[in-house]
């Protein structure tokens, strides 16, 4: 099992983490928009490191007891090795420290890999936004995970 070093993204990591965003997520945000996340008081932006460089990241927004997962991505050559899982667990821990009770997110209904990943990580569908995405037009599925469920993962992590 690969060990993943999960750390908050700093200004020094911005170029490398933004390159992951640009390579994995479309449409990509402007770099200045993403850079502003690093200083936002509600943001939790984490990167997974391997071989001395960031290879994945997660960007969550914690406010009013909920953590909105804006983006999560892992470089293709590092996928299916647990990095996404490690990022979500770390985000959940950080969100609980900020008094959040759940993580919520939107995902394109055609993104079968992400849907499988989220379901494997305990998310359930709680809604749908018709034609939410453009280019191409597509529904968003709303998924939700209550953070108490993660306590089980945390408790067994050292077993």
Q: How far apart are the C-alpha atoms of 47 and 107, rounded to whole Å?
A: 20
- For residue 18, indicate whether it is catalytic: no
90 binds ligand COA (CB under 6 A): no
116 binds ligand COA (CB under 6 A): yes
Residue nearer to ligand COA on the CB measure, 74 or 147: 74
80 binds ligand COA (CB under 6 A): yes
- State the first-to-last Cα distance of the chain, in angstroms, to the nearest integer: 14
104 alpha carbon, distance to own chain's centre: 10
- Which residue of 54, 71, 100, 145 would you call a contact of ligand COA, by CB under 6 A? 71
> Contact, 128 vs 140, CB < 8 A?
yes
Q: Total residues at the site for ligand COA (CB under 6 A)?
A: 20
- For residue 106, indicate whether it is catalytic: yes
68, 78, 118, 150: the catalytic one is 118
Residues 6+ apart with CB under 8 A from 130: 139
107's enclosing H/E stretch is strand 102-108
Instruction: Pick the piece of the chain touching ligand COA (CB under 6 A) from 5-13, 105-113, 128-136, 142-150.
Output: 105-113
3-state class of 131 per DSSP? strand
Q: Which residues participate in catalysis according to the annotation?
A: 106, 118
Residues that bind ligand COA (CB under 6 A): 24-25, 71-74, 79-85, 107, 111, 113-114, 116-117, 120
């Amino acid at each position: 099992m690969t060990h993943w070093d999960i750390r908050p993204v700093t200004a020094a990591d911005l170029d490398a983490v933004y390159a992951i965003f640009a390579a994995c997520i479309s449409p990509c945000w402007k770099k200045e928009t993403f850079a502003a996340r690093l200083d936002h008081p509600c943001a939790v932006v984490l990167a997974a490191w391997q071989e001395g460089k960031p290879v994945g990241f997660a960007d969550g927004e914690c406010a009013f007891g909920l953590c909105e997962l804006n983006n999560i991505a892992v470089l293709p050559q590092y996928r299916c090795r647990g990095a996404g899982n490690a990022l979500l667990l770390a985000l959940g821990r950080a969100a609980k420290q900020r008094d959040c009770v759940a993580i919520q997110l939107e995902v394109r209904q055609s993104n079968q890999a992400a849907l499988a990943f989220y379901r494997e990580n305990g998310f359930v569908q709680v809604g749908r936004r018709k034609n939410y995405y453009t280019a191409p037009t597509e529904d968003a599925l709303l998924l939700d995970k209550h953070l108490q469920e993660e306590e089980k993962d945390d408790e067994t992590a050292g077993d």
